Amino acid sequence: MKKDIKKWQGNWKKMCGNNIPSKFLVCTVSILMFWSCSPRSSYQQRIDEYQVTPGKRYELAVAIGEYAHYFPDDVEILPEYAEILLTKGFYDECISICDHILERENNAWETYYTRAMAKSLIWDFDGSLNDLQIMLQNWKTTKKIEESQSLIRQYAEIHESIQILDKKIRDHPTEYSLYKNRGDLFLSMNEPVAAIADYRFCLDSAGFDHEVIWNKFRAEILNFDFEAAEQDIEQIRLSNIQDSMMNLELMSSLITDARNHSVIIKNDPGNIDSYLELARIFTFLEIEHKAIEYLSTALEIQPDNIQVKYHMAVVYAFSDKKDKASKILTELETQGVQVPDQLKKMIE
Amino acid sequence: MQKEKNIFERNPGLTLIILLLLIIIILDFLFGLIFVQENFQSFRIQKYYYHHGLRPNRKGYTRWSINIYPMITNSLGFRDETTRKINLKPDKRRILFLGDSHTEGVDLPFDKTFTGILASKAKEKDTEILSAAVVSYSPKIHYLIAEYLMENKGFQCDEIYVFIDISDIQNELVYENFNPGKYSFIKDWWINFKNFSNRRSLIISTIKETKDKKGKEEFFSKSKLFTDRLEGNQLAETFSTDLYYSFFTHFDDNVMLANPRFHGVGDWFYDEEFIKVAERGIKLGQSNILKLKQLCDRHNIKLTIAVHPWHGQITRHETNGYYVQSWQDFARTNNIGFINLFPLFINEENPQAVIKKYYIYNDNHWNEKGHQKVAGKLEENVWE
């Protein structure tokens, strides 16, 4: 046994010499070799691979779920994985990982933000606002947190209005305007599927209504259900109702453009022109929050793109967020961009 | 005098073979311990009398889709809060819940399921609540497990609640050819040994794995699942698909299997081609519930059935459609208690909002809030 140890020590000396840097190098290489073969790293590799492979959304979430199960104490990387689940639409799973992280480290402040966003998306507005409040009280006040808080408060108010309408519908189930109003609220809450359900019920029960069908059309586009949007156009065509809002050719072209540009983005997520085009479509459809979402993504790709910034200012101006619009326009003017007077007047 | 040879010396060849076999078996189980990995579904086992069930006294984890959650079973193989021995004869009022994946409470720990919520409240009410529900059970299996427990094991209870949903109409057709025959201790032992070998023997588990893989591939290509978009309820691309395959062991109607609409059971009632099949599924289910009722009467047990909706029924706003009406009439005629959970999920609220609030995303099963809602409603009935 002693002989073996001495032999091993001899080999170690031969390999590293007698200096510390070479010993350190050999140790690091060994640790890295061990690390690359460990299940932890194999999971991380799989997760990285699924993230960049189209159509692997579900496998990605499964691998993250397994990672959180097998390595629950890795609070270094789990917050990042929770964010991935949030962006991929796995809200409950995201909340469960955030709970897990916060049980172990209650000052992982950014995880509160991730959890707040996920909670708001499953309509747990109280829970979401509570998480943001914890961040503001114990961590720091940032514009991002305050803006999110204000948006979630807005959604919570809309949700309360929806609950009031639910009660009214219970008492007056044949008053179809209530369903239309509720559909509009869902649409403003970025919940097109629920909005479509109410509009459909309204149309089936009360017959053709140009406003309802136009809103349904907007919701179908927001839901990227272009076939259903085409059916709406067909329904309008069959109704023979002439309305200035119902420019059928324009509606058809919106469908074609939205379809084409969403395909382009799917294949080329860095295509700024398509983000701009989709933002234009949603601005036209008066779904400004979606337009802002596309423009924000475009700005993440090209933070200095003047065209995107200009469009962002226009959308803010249209959605009555004059402060934000004015700030962007001032910035653009300092860069030598000529802002049309009409737009300036809008935000005054 | 020459010493008389013993049996091994007289048969050296046979001795060698037996010895070798013994060594192989020992090594096989030893390697099995090391190399056969338990997976998240290995607590689900075959049952000769009631098709499939859960391994008793098992504490581990499982997965339905993405979340990995605890799965604990008691001595009877029922999902429970802890591994514990259940006395066959209760010392207080006992209620048994039977149902499928909804009642098993997939994707949630036991204490968050409606049976778990009721079980924890039952302690204050001097009542015991047990749940023998397992994924893909249907009236036929409910009857068989109840018969197995009561007639062969001597299990006793005061009330049984059976949870029924639209998936049962497909399951009833799938299990139509499954007939366990008379209870036999040997058959019971043999299937338990097979289950054990599948988990512990390296050779047997490898053979089973290969066979299952081939079977799954054949099944999925035959049924065209994941290749054709199903009209209506598309089977969610989850781990439950592996389970789905394992329930078709006694179903050999390849024409039906190859029809993608057969796998969208939620839409059968709205499909002219399938409405007759759906009606047959309901009839089979009702005949099995009738058998369960007769069994309950023999054992002086009160029987109640509960129906609950799937997404399709919620979006169609069907509170009292053919499906509900059929079970309600059946229950009334046969003096069976009836709970209609449809109005709990189909009411003045927006249907999509209900689905979002109370159901797992893209899945017909209840989430935590859904289970809380069901538990709240059942409390009106279960406490005396």
Compute the nearest-CA separation of B317 from chain A (Å): 10
Residues A181 and A203 in one domain: yes
Under an 8 A CB cutoff, do A93 and B357 touch?
A: no
The rounded distance, in Å, linking the Cα atoms of A77 and A40 is 11
Contacts of B348 in chain A (CB under 8 A): 166-167, 169-170, 173
Main-chain phi, psi angles of B305, to 5 degrees: -115, 150
- Whether the CB of B352 is below 8 Å from some CB of chain A: the reply is yes
Flag whether pLDDT at B231 surpasses 50. no
Contacts of B367 in chain A (CB under 8 A): 92
Contacts of A228 in chain B (CB under 8 A): none
Flag whether pLDDT at B271 surpasses 90. no
- Whether the CB of A69 is below 8 Å from some CB of chain B: the reply is yes
> Which residue type occupies B366?
W
Domain boundary among A125, A153, A171: A171
Compute the nearest-CA separation of A198 from chain B (Å): 7
Q: Which one, of B68, B70, B113, B104, lies nearest residue B368 by Cα?
A: B113
Look at residue B229 in the predicted model and tell me its pLDDT: 41
Nearest chain A residue to B40, by CA: A66
Flag whether pLDDT at A277 surpasses 90. yes
Flag whether pLDDT at B87 surpasses 60. yes
> What token pair was written down for A112?
């509160």
Domain boundary among A171, A188, A223: A171
Tell how strand B337-340 and strand B159-164 pair up.
unpaired
Rg (CA), chain A: 27
**Which residues, other chains included, contact B309 with Cβ-Cβ below 8 Å and sequence gap of 6+?**
B165, B166, B318, B341, B342, B345, B346
Residues A259 and A208 in one domain: no
> For the CA atoms of B217, B100, B279, B374, what is the dihedral angle to 10 degrees?
-140
Flag whether pLDDT at A262 surpasses 70. yes
A/B interface, count of CB pairs below 8 Å: 57
HSE (side-chain half, CA atoms, 13 Å) at A42? 6
- List pLDDT tens digits, range A35-94: 555 678 888 999 999 988 877 888 899 999 999 999 999 999 999 999 999 999 999 999
Look at residue A20 in the predicted model and tell me its pLDDT: 62
- Whether the CB of B357 is below 8 Å from some CB of chain A: the reply is yes
Compute the nearest-CA separation of A216 from chain B (Å): 15
**B353 vs A64, A91, A194: nearest CB:** A194
Distances (CA, A) of B200 to A310, B29, B137: 67, 6, 27
A8 inside domain: no
Contacts of B351 in chain A (CB under 8 A): 197
Query: What mean pLDDT comes out for the span B191-207?
Result: 90
Q: Which one, of B78, B95, B75, B96, lies nearest residue B86 by Cα?
A: B75
> What token pair was written down for A86?
């949030």
Higher pLDDT, A6 or A230: A230
Q: Which helix (H) or strand (E) holds A243?
A: none
Residues A152 and A238 in one domain: no
The tally of domains found in chain A comes to 3
> What token pair was written down for B372?
């809380």
Under an 8 A CB cutoff, do B353 and A61 touch?
A: no
* Range of the structural domain that residue A125 is part of: 42-171
- Whether the CB of A228 is below 8 Å from some CB of chain B: the reply is no
The rounded distance, in Å, linking the Cα atoms of B244 and B302 is 32
Percent helix / strand / coil, chain A, rounded to 5: 80, 0, 20
Residues A57 and A165 in one domain: yes
Contacts of A193 in chain B (CB under 8 A): 352
- List pLDDT tens digits, range A196-238: 999 999 998 888 888 899 999 999 999 999 999 999 988 888 8
- List pLDDT tens digits, range A132-184: 999 999 888 888 899 899 999 999 999 999 999 999 999 999 999 999 999 99
> What token pair was written down for B275?
């409405």
**Which residues, other chains included, contact A106 with Cβ-Cβ below 8 Å and sequence gap of 6+?**
none
Per residue, the 3-state secondary structure of B224-283, as one string, reads: CCCCCCCCCCCCCCCCHHHHHHHCCCCCCCHHHHCCHHHHCHHHHHHCCCCHHHHHHHHH
Task: Find the CATH number of the domain harbouring A57.
Answer: 1.25.40.10
- High-pLDDT (> 70) share of chain B, %: 94
Compute the nearest-CA separation of A109 from chain B (Å): 23
> What token pair was written down for B13?
């060849």
A6 inside domain: no
- Whether the CB of B237 is below 8 Å from some CB of chain A: the reply is yes
Residues A209 and A224 in one domain: yes
Contacts of B360 in chain A (CB under 8 A): 92
Residues A140 and A50 in one domain: yes
Per residue, the 3-state secondary structure of B50-116, as one string, reads: CEEEECCCCEEEEECCCCEEEEEECCCCCECCCCCCCCCCCCCEEEEEECCHHHHCCCCCHHHCHHH
Residues A184 and A293 in one domain: no
Compute the nearest-CA separation of A276 from chain B (Å): 31
Query: Residue B41: is it exposed, middle or buried by C-beta count within 10 angstroms (0-12/13-18/19+)?
Result: middle
Question: How many Cβ atoms from other residues are within 10 Å of residue A278's Cβ?
Answer: 25
- Whether the CB of B41 is below 8 Å from some CB of chain A: the reply is no
Query: What mean pLDDT comes out for the span A186-197?
Result: 94
Q: Which one, of B180, B269, B262, lies nearest residue B225 by Cα?
A: B262
The residues facing B72 across adjacent strands are B59
Higher pLDDT, B188 or A6: B188
- What is the ipTM metric for this complex? 0.81
Residues A260 and A238 in one domain: no
Residues A162 and A238 in one domain: no
DSSP-assigned states of every residue in A128-140: HHHHHHHHHHHT-
Compute the nearest-CA separation of B362 from chain A (Å): 11
CB-based contact B180:B48 (threshold 8 Å)? yes
Flag whether pLDDT at A99 surpasses 70. yes
Instruction: Delimit the domains of chain B by residue range.
Output: 7-36, 44-382
For an interface test with B, the pick among A88, A166, A185 (most B C-beta atoms closer than 10 Å) comes out as A166
Query: Residue A196: is it exposed, middle or buried by C-beta count within 10 angstroms (0-12/13-18/19+)?
Result: buried
Interface of A with B in 122-181 (CB under 8 A): 122-123, 162, 166-167, 169-170, 173
Work out the pLDDT band at B237, boundaries 50, 70, 90: very low
The rounded distance, in Å, linking the Cα atoms of B356 and B117 is 22
Under an 8 A CB cutoff, do B357 and A123 touch?
A: yes
> Which residue type occupies B44?
R
Beta strands per DSSP E along B282-369: 302-307, 337-340
Flag whether pLDDT at A269 surpasses 90. no
Look at residue A31 in the predicted model and tell me its pLDDT: 62
A2 inside domain: no
Could you give the maximum distance between any two Cα atoms of chain A, in Å? Answer: 99
- List pLDDT tens digits, range B238-255: 556 667 777 777 777 877
Under an 8 A CB cutoff, do B352 and A170 touch?
A: no
Q: Which one, of B218, B213, B234, B174, lies nearest residue B226 by Cα?
A: B234
* Alpha carbon distance, N-terminus to C-terminus of chain B: 85
Distances (CA, A) of B173 to A92, B63, B230: 34, 27, 20
A22 inside domain: no
A11 inside domain: no
Flag whether pLDDT at A252 surpasses 50. yes
Domain boundary among A125, A151, A171: A171
B44-382: CATH superfamily: SGNH hydrolase (3.40.50.1110)
Helix axes A272-284, A210-222, angle to 10 degrees: 160
Residues A265 and A224 in one domain: no
Structure letter (DSSP) for residue B5: P
- List pLDDT tens digits, range B274-287: 889 999 999 999 99
Work out the pLDDT band at B230, boundaries 50, 70, 90: very low
The rounded distance, in Å, linking the Cα atoms of A281 and A255 is 9
CB-based contact B168:B305 (threshold 8 Å)? no
pTM over 0.90: no
- Whether the CB of A182 is below 8 Å from some CB of chain B: the reply is yes
> What token pair was written down for B203?
């050779």
Compute the nearest-CA separation of B208 from chain A (Å): 25
CB-based contact A223:A216 (threshold 8 Å)? no
Residues A58 and A130 in one domain: yes
